[in-house]
Amino acid sequence: MKPSMSLKTQNLALLLLFVIANFLSYYHCEAADEDSSKLGASFIFGDSLVDAGNNNYLPTLSRANIPPNGIDFKSSGGNPTGRYTNGRTIGDIVGEELGQPNYAIPFLAPNATGKAILYGVNYASGGGGILNATGRIFVNRLGMDIQIDYFNITRKEFDKLLGPSKARDYIMKQSIFSITVGANDFLNNYLLPVLSVGARITQSPDAFIDDMLNHLRGQLTRLYQLDARKFVIGNVGPIGCIPYQKTINQLKENECVGLANKLAVQYNGRLKDLLAELNDNLPGATFLHANVFDLVMELITNYDKYGFTTATRACCGNGGQFAGIIPCGPTSSMCQDRSKHVFWDPYHPSEAANLLLAKQLLDGDKRYISPVNLRQLRDL
């Protein structure tokens, strides 16, 4: 009788200990390790396609914190946030779909401190590119080198918040690093009239693209050194088909600018090789290739199939036959039905287009996202 009593007490003590330990670890870590089916942190790098407000804090000519930008963004009540679209960016939608309760917070926002960063941080900046010189026409913007310097600061914050060992695990296994960059290196660098003439004379397209990819290799490797393991890299979209390019080149409805698209295709082919190389050479890392070019081209070509009425005219903008010259702002004309335009402004997709693009990246097949899709990447 006595031994069995003591066994029972022992079991009870063990059970209690187990309950207390679970209770403590649950309340201690909160976002850090509750539900492994949800994404931990989303770290977003790139340009205006995914900027969630960093440029609001820079002295720059590239800003989207003016109405009617953000008019369909629910959590701001339709007020502008610095996003270059009418609603959510692809980065916002992907974060939501992968189970995040908050959008990744802009690095330069004053409230990007303490536990708020555990869901992720957004470093993207309108006008930014792979190369440092890209976007200098805007006076200020964060290029990729600086965005990664900033992640290095965040990385140290995670050590403080979670402790070094848990932080490393959280960043390696439960975090996704998305990089959407490259379009500005062409649009606001190589192809820019006047500023780029020198570069275009001294550098062939091949040499310029080489330069871009060598920098990108270095940048992705730095992120790997800081414990990033799950990556998704977008290729450059059909920049010859955006309302801005079609307007300034005075093209017809169904035409696109040949040189701009040719440069994008050339870069994209080489990007695919780079990602294959990194998948082979960086142990434990997975680099997804997001085929933004083919995805956006599909929306532009078959726009009516997806419920759009135009893939050429910006919803918000002014100038020329496609409202493609002056960026969206308070004095712009705005379309009647924002969900019927592929393009929100002269450069950027509408939220309606972003929803379709995000859906394919999350759940699509190898035509658009490979070797696995984003939902599979999270669950790796």
Ligand X SMILES: *[C@@H]1O[C@H](CO)[C@@H](O)[C@H](O)[C@H]1NC(C)=O
Catalytic residue numbers?
48, 345, 348
Closest to ligand X by CB, 149 or 304: 149
* Segment lying near ligand X (by CB under 6 A), choices 60-68, 219-227, 276-284, 294-302: 219-227
CB 157 within 8 A of CB 138: no
In the complex, minimum distance from the CB of residue 334 to ligand X, in angstroms, rounded to a whole number: 23
Give 53 or 320: the residue with its C-beta nearer to ligand X: 53
- State the minimum distance, in angstroms, from the CB of residue 111 to ligand X: 4
Q: Is 109 in the site for ligand X (CB under 6 A)?
A: yes
Q: Which stretch binds ligand X (CB under 6 A): 9-17, 145-153, 337-345, 364-372?
A: 145-153
* Contact in structure between 179 and 234 (CB atoms under 8 Å): yes
- Cα–Cα distance between 233 and 317 in angstroms, integer? 29
- CA-to-CA distance for 68 and 376, rounded, in angstroms? 36
Q: Least distance in Å: CB of 156 to ligand X?
A: 7
CA distances (Å), origin 352, targets 71, 160, 236, 329? 13, 39, 20, 19
With respect to ligand X, which residue has the nearer C-beta, 82 or 243? 82
CA 12 to chain centre: 50
With CB under 6 A as the rule, give the number of residues binding ligand X: 12
Which range, of 11-19, 101-109, 272-280, 305-313, touches ligand X by CB under 6 A? 101-109
Answer left, alpha or beta for residue 140, where phi above 0 means left and psi between -120 and 50 means alpha. beta
Cα distance between residue 106 and residue 37, in whole Å = 24
Task: Compute the chain's Rg from CA coordinates.
Answer: 23
d(CA 277, CA 147): 23
Residue 216's contacts (CB-CB under 8 Å, 6 or more residues apart) are: 130, 144, 181, 182, 271, 274
- Identify the three-state secondary structure at position 250: coil
What is the closest distance, in whole angstroms, from the C-beta atom of residue 251 to ligand X in the complex? 35
User: Which segment (4-12, 108-116, 256-264, 287-295) binds ligand X by CB under 6 A?
Assistant: 108-116
145 binds ligand X (CB under 6 A): yes
The amino acid at residue 221 is T
Helices then strands (H, E): number in the chain? 12, 9
CB of 89 closer than 8 Å to CB of 357:
no
Coil, helix or strand for 126? coil
Q: Which stretch binds ligand X (CB under 6 A): 37-45, 105-113, 260-268, 326-334?
A: 105-113
The one among 29, 61, 137, 146 contacting ligand X by CB under 6 A? 146
Of 31, 41, 98, 105, the residue at the interface with ligand X (CB under 6 A) is: 105
Q: Contacting ligand X (CB under 6 A), which of 3, 59, 74, 111?
A: 111
CB of 6 or CB of 225, closer to ligand X? 225
- 146 or 265: whose CB is closer to ligand X? 146
For ligand X, give the closer residue by CB, 9 or 152: 152
Beta carbon of residue 359, minimum distance to ligand X (angstroms, whole number): 25
Query: Smallest distance from the beta carbon of 233 to ligand X, in angstroms?
Result: 18
Shorter beta-carbon distance to ligand X: residue 50 or 314 = 50
Looking at residues 222 to 251 of the shown chain, list those that interact with ligand X (rule: CB under 6 A). Answer: 222, 225-226
- Both tokens assigned to 100: 């995040």
Residue 166 CB burial class (10 angstroms; 0-12, 13-18, ≥19): middle
Where on the chain is the footprint of ligand X (CB under 6 A)? 102, 105, 109, 111, 116, 132, 145-146, 152, 222, 225-226
